[in-house]
Structure 1
């Protein structure tokens, strides 16, 4: 995979650590995508006992999951500790005085990387991941971890960003130089192939474009900073941009103005798949290789 897709994980963590206090005010897209993902659960018959919210942020999705599946244990996992603290504070405030005194809903939280889940094999019934896996370098690594911790017949549902995301901003920076100024994202078909490669059954992928509108280019950049979505590609230009260079970028973006507003396009990819169940013992070939057959019974949808 090209270096353009590789992210500096330490920079990603630092960005989200700083963004925790401003995240909720700017995370309009994240909440909208979470709500649209939740609508897809209406068509899936699943009663999970343990749910992992992988990349939980400040807890918006986890709160929805607890309400939808009141008997389930929802585990929040995020790379940034400050995001988990913000979620814990919101839960604490929502419980009222008696809830805080008796600690009725102490959240289960893990500060960890989705590519290295600190969970046992076959321990989770459902994985929910909203706009998080675009920060991983190789989708196979995170899908392999999802496959490992899911129980047989368990389901993963996720959303992420596709390559047309922030196309207006990317084009504006392209008038300046060939450096990497905007994060690069992986194509929907490559994600579907990665799911199959990691042994998931019946993967379903679909896409839609959501266009946010702004008054100025600075507002676009402000929102990206507020949600922690800095450019974290490994090949990015690490120097400060000069005043004249920034003005060139703004002028190029202004050419995109329509109806008095500047668009910021997000290509949102949705996917879900099931962990297949081993149907029989592996067949050992003459050269020592194993042939493993998987099956999944279809009654859950």
Structure 2
């Protein structure tokens, strides 16, 4: 993730966006559900005493994680998301907190799971350090996130309109691996692959971001004022990308299984 020109009060903006989207998230989360399914398929076998769902959202992984965890803690930056999560999994213990400053003791978890949340952190090095700190020796960290060249369709279309991409810029594959494993977490399995979602209209593609809270821009120079005329022009450009499958929106995904040795 970039470390310069970060918007002021960034974490508050992220929390606000996801709080607002909590009521619509599950209706627009097909991409997130697909990624979650893939990440579940990489889950190590085990009977874990205490697991952490890091960036739990509305709790769609809770039942899966609870099946092999004696206790499950669900953490998110958004209170509204946590309320939804608690409704789905009343037995889990919910905590409102920041993944870059985990409010837990050293070595208390033997399994940490995180699907599509760490890309909202300002510093992946701090994620690696915090996960390593709260994991027990031989503990597992299973995570999915986005890497460079995600959402190229949106970037391309906005560049034609005003010269800005209007998207977040994610680290390259190599940068991501180096940053998140810097604390000594050892990769056990890595999968890097694209996923293209298809939509009936450009607006539907954008709603798939806005309605799940994923529309906060990290860098100030990408936060441009969008006039009605510019928005119409953008939708027109995006429409040009239509194929027989519909309007594409492509993500570059990295799935990681790391272990604290």
- Shorter-chain TM-score bucket reads over 0.9
User: 2:24 is matched with which residue?
Assistant: 22
Structure 2 residue aligned with 1:88, among 86, 89, 92? 86
Aligned length: 259
Say if 1:190 and 1:204 are closer, same or farther in 2 by CA, change over 3 A. Answer: farther
Residue 230 of structure 1 is matched in structure 2 by: 215
Q: Is the 8 A contact 1:154 1:274 kept in 2?
A: yes
Is it true that 1:164 corresponds to 2:149 in the alignment? yes
8 Å contact 1:180–1:235 — kept in the other structure? Answer: no
- Report the alpha carbon displacement of residue 260 of structure 1 after superposing the two structures with TM: 5.4
Unaligned residue ranges in structure 1 (runs of 5+): 92-104, 277-301
What corresponds to 1:50 in structure 2?
50
Query: Aligned Cα RMSD in Å?
Result: 1.9
**CA 246–59 in structure 1, closer or farther in 2 if over 3 Å, else same:** same
Q: Is the 8 A contact 1:4 1:235 kept in 2?
A: no
Are residue 197 (structure 1) and residue 182 (structure 2) matched? yes
From 133, 143, 167, the equivalent of 2:118 is 133
Distance 2:123 2:205 in 1: 27
TM-score by length of 1: 0.81
Separation in structure 1 between the aligned mates of residue 184 and residue 5 of structure 2, nearest angstrom: 24
2:75 — aligned with what?
A: 77
Kindly name which structure, 1 or 2, has the bigger radius of gyration based on alpha carbons. 1
- TM superposition score normalised by structure 2: 0.93
Q: Which runs of 5+ in 2 are unaligned?
A: none
Identify the match of residue 114 of structure 1 among 99, 102, 108.
99
The answer to whether the 8 A contact 1:181-1:231 is kept is no
Contact 2:52–2:109 (CA under 8 A) maintained in structure 1: yes
